[in-house]
Amino acid sequence: MSLIGDGLDAAVQKAFTRPAPKTAGPQMRYLVKQLGGTKAAAQMLRVSQRTVERYVKDQIKNPRPGLAARLEREVKKRWQPQIRARARQKAASTGGIVIDTRARLGYTAPIGSTDQDRIRHLTVALPPVHAARLFEAQEAGESDDRLREIAAEALKEVYFQDSGRRAGSLEEVRFTDIEHLEFDL
């Protein structure tokens, strides 16, 4: 599970103009169409091709919980790709992204400063350059740890250093024990 990656996906999904299919039959038909056949859909969902065909024909209506979750995730991942791309482009070029988090944040700084980690609740508007870095890393398939590092660097620059106006000697921000994380475009 990718906490930051899922948060970025959820933010982009808010831009959708139509809801994704909710039931198994329409979801399966959409995936079969996107992937170009029942065999590809079956391999991706780790079920038999016959099972996929039965969902497409509405002979089966209620998938097991594991299959239902995979089906929903794969449909949402592919739903409205142009709108998804437009929302990411807007965030990366003009809009930026808002991060709302409750997590343990601390930093490495020179001796004599209070660099103690503590739980903080922050809502910070990150400029487009940081949104672009997050989306690029996500599309490149970076790990959640790498996405967390990029988010920590963004928080360091925007929140802790106030875009260069204070805490210039701050070396590293630690972003751990995430209790809540949400992004908004």
Percent of the chain with pLDDT over 90: 55
The reply to whether 1 falls in a domain is no
What does the alpha-carbon distance between residue 181 and residue 77 come to, in Å, rounded to a whole number? 19
What does the alpha-carbon distance between residue 78 and residue 71 come to, in Å, rounded to a whole number? 11
CA atoms within 13 A on the CB side of 25: 6
What is the predicted pLDDT for the residue at 172?
74
Residues 94 and 178 in one domain: yes
pTM for this prediction:
0.77
What is the predicted pLDDT for the residue at 66?
94
* Residue 12: closest CA among 139, 122, 103: 139
Amino acid letter at 147?
L
Residues 48 and 97 in one domain: no
**Model confidence at 36: pLDDT above 60:** yes
Provide the CATH number for the domain around residue 72: 1.10.260
Name the band, by pLDDT with cuts 50, 70 and 90, for residue 34. very high
What average pLDDT is seen over the chain?
88
Residues 109 and 158 in one domain: yes
Among 66-70, 132-136, 171-175, 181-185, the minimum mean pLDDT is found in 171-175
Residues 125 and 157 in one domain: yes
Residues 95 and 56 in one domain: no
Residues 114 and 167 in one domain: yes
For residue 174, the enclosing domain spans 87-184
**Model confidence at 166: pLDDT above 60:** yes
**Model confidence at 72: pLDDT above 80:** yes
What does the alpha-carbon distance between residue 170 and residue 14 come to, in Å, rounded to a whole number? 35
**Model confidence at 170: pLDDT above 80:** no
**Model confidence at 56: pLDDT above 90:** yes
Residues 136 and 116 in one domain: yes
What is the predicted pLDDT for the residue at 137?
92
DSSP assignment, residue 58?
Answer: T
3-class secondary structure for 61-106? Answer: CCCCHHHHHHHHHHHHHHCCHHHHHHHHHHHHHHHCEEEEEEEEEE
Instruction: Encode pLDDT of 79-125 as tens digits.
Output: 999 999 999 999 999 888 999 999 888 776 656 555 567 788 999 99
* Residue 119: closest CA among 102, 137, 143, 101: 102
